[in-house]
Amino acid sequence: MKKLLFLLPLAAGLSACSLNRTAARVTSGVIDRGLPAVFSQADPQYVKEALPANLQLMEILLKSDPDNRSLLVNAAQGFCGYALMFLEDETPERASMFYSKGEAYSARALKGLAPAAAKKADVPPLFWNTFCKALYINMNRDNPEAVAELPTLEPAIEKLLALDPAYYYNGAYGLMGAYYSIRPRMFGGDPEKAKSYFETSVTGPGGNFLLNRYMYAKMAAVAAQDPELFERLLISVLEAEPRDGDTRLPDEVAKLKSKKLLEKKDELF
């Protein structure tokens, strides 16, 4: 009887942990199914104010279920997407912090998996890990430690291109375009290659995804010092008709960011 009484608190603790993990998995499923509703919003300010609470909820749930791959990928996408859409232009230091968080969560989902060993099922965490890292490097080009990570991007992007190039609206093509835009010319940077990859990113599945055109202008057109391309791309974003669906939020954000970037044309060229 004494042994049984001794084990009761342990059993209760294990039961509580199990219940917490089950609750976390149920809630993470709701988050996974609900994310399209967030990205279909037409009001960026509403999402900017509401999304941090959801990001915090994901972090709380991960305390109870730290290996939940779906939740880790959603957290990575959430932190990196929030940084790109709402923080880069106003608070770059916070954007860098959010990119680092997104990279860390996606790395946990990969569990040390090298890009060469990735399978198609690994595309989501590999994509967001590479996405977060690339944009962090871009924001910290004056940081030698960040720039030293540049060579790690190429094998990951090449694997994404081999496994599922259309994932997230031709995201891998945009990443390779960003890679050749960020990399200094003397170390293999190539604005023309960057333009070629971005050209592919704005076709097919990425043809109507306005953030692709915005990133093309911001990264490759500036790297190539091509003001005509820069202006054409940004004007095409501003003139695009609003479309309801899963890309409505990033499309609206792309319009806001394109207007601001176009106003800086004389500073960039």
Contact residues for 58 (Cβ-Cβ < 8 A; gap 6+): 28, 31, 71, 74, 75, 78
- DSSP per-residue string spanning 145-188: HHHTTGGGHHHHHHHHHHH-TTHHHHHHHHHHHHHHHHS-GGGT
Cβ-count burial 104-140 (b if 16+ within 10 Å, e if not): ebbbbbbeeeebeebeeebbbbbbbbbbbbbbbbbbb
Q: Provide mean pLDDT across the span 198-205.
A: 97
Fill in the DSSP letter of residue 117.
G
Predicted confidence (pLDDT) per residue in 152-171, tens digit: 999 999 999 999 999 999 99
Residue, of 65 and 21, whose pLDDT is higher: 65
Q: Which CATH architecture has domain 42-152?
A: Alpha Horseshoe (1.25)
239 burial level (CB within 10 Å; 0-12, 13-18, 19+) = exposed
Question: Helix (H, G, I), strand (E, B), or coil: what is residue 100?
Answer: helix
Q: Which two tokens mark 41?
A: 């919003």
* C-alpha–C-alpha distance, residues 162 and 156, integer Å: 10
Place of tokens 């994310």: 35
Q: Where does the pLDDT of residue 8 fall: very low under 50, low under 70, confident under 90, or very high at 90 and above? A: very low
At 187, the amino acid letter reads F
Q: Cα(125)–Cα(72) distance, rounded to whole angstroms?
A: 8
Encode pLDDT of 10-36 as tens digits.
545 545 556 566 656 656 565 667 677
pTM of the full structure? 0.89
Q: Note the pLDDT of residue 74.
A: 96
Residue 84 has pLDDT above 90, yes or no: yes
d(Cα 2, Cα 145) in Å, to the nearest integer? Answer: 58
Structural domain boundaries in the chain: 42-152, 165-269
- What's the pLDDT band for 218 if we cut at 50, 70, 90? very high
Question: What are the tens digits of pLDDT across the range 228-243?
Answer: 999 999 999 999 998 9
Of 103, 102, 104, 82, residue with least CA distance to 91: 82
